[in-house]
Amino acid sequence: MIDPDGFRPNVGIILSNEQRRLFWGRRIGQNAWQFPQGGIRSDETPLEAMYRELEEEVGLLPEQVTVLGCTQGWLRYRLPRRFIRRRCGPICIGQKQVWFMLRVDCGESSFCLDRSEKPEFDAWRWVRYWHPLREVVYFKRHVYAQALEELAPLLYPEGTPQPEHPEESGKAAVKRHVDAPRPGGQHRAPRVVGQMRQRRR
């Protein structure tokens, strides 16, 4: 389902634990990390799509999480030209997303990355709040910044010590709401918490 402007409706999922760390998943077969996300079907609400994607990509059920809130309106990002498939219609130029902030109410043993036939992730770990801005693929960074900034009060209400924003620390990889250039260099190998379990036949 693609809207008249060429954007595919989508949900993004930010999972947090008791220490306010965020779930960070490694895309299967790649050294690329991101939050869970997925398309909204024509017969779904964003909330319904979020719960479906949560189970498919992370293996968690609605009763194992608490929805803390979501972004207001759509947040959009455009795909680089080389990723746009122009020979099939309608043409999708990017995603428009509603982002949800969830609290995990179950143990890590409940996480299952191969619940669906086409898993999205093969490993995951917990990261600090602003860490994703330094590691997510460059063309999604401004959307991640928007979502994290809008949803931060859900984890850090007034009077709670706030995590240091990378822009405020002088070590920003991106400016708020602005696309950053493609990153260079290599990241240190991350400490992985969860690996994909072998699917039982």
Instruction: Quote the pLDDT of residue 176.
Output: 38
Helix (H) or strand (E) holding 194: strand 194-195
CB atoms under 10 Å from CB of 25, counted, come to 25
CA-wise closest residue to 195 among 108, 101, 107, 102: 108
Using an 8 Å Cβ cutoff, are 92 and 8 in contact? yes
As to burial, measured by CB atoms within 10 angstroms (0-12 exposed, 13-18 middle, 19+ buried), residue 148 is buried
**pLDDT tens-digit map of 109-162:** 999 999 999 999 999 999 999 999 999 999 999 999 999 999 999 999 998 988
**pLDDT tens-digit map of 13-71:** 999 999 999 999 999 999 999 999 999 999 999 999 999 999 999 999 999 999 999 99
As to burial, measured by CB atoms within 10 angstroms (0-12 exposed, 13-18 middle, 19+ buried), residue 8 is middle
pTM of this prediction?
Answer: 0.83
- Cα separation of 170 and 152, whole Å? 20
Q: Return all residues near 120 (Cβ < 8 A) that are at least 6 apart.
A: 25, 27, 28, 36, 38, 56, 57, 113
For 115, left (φ over 0), alpha (ψ -120 to 50), or beta? alpha
pLDDT of residue 179 exceeding 60: no
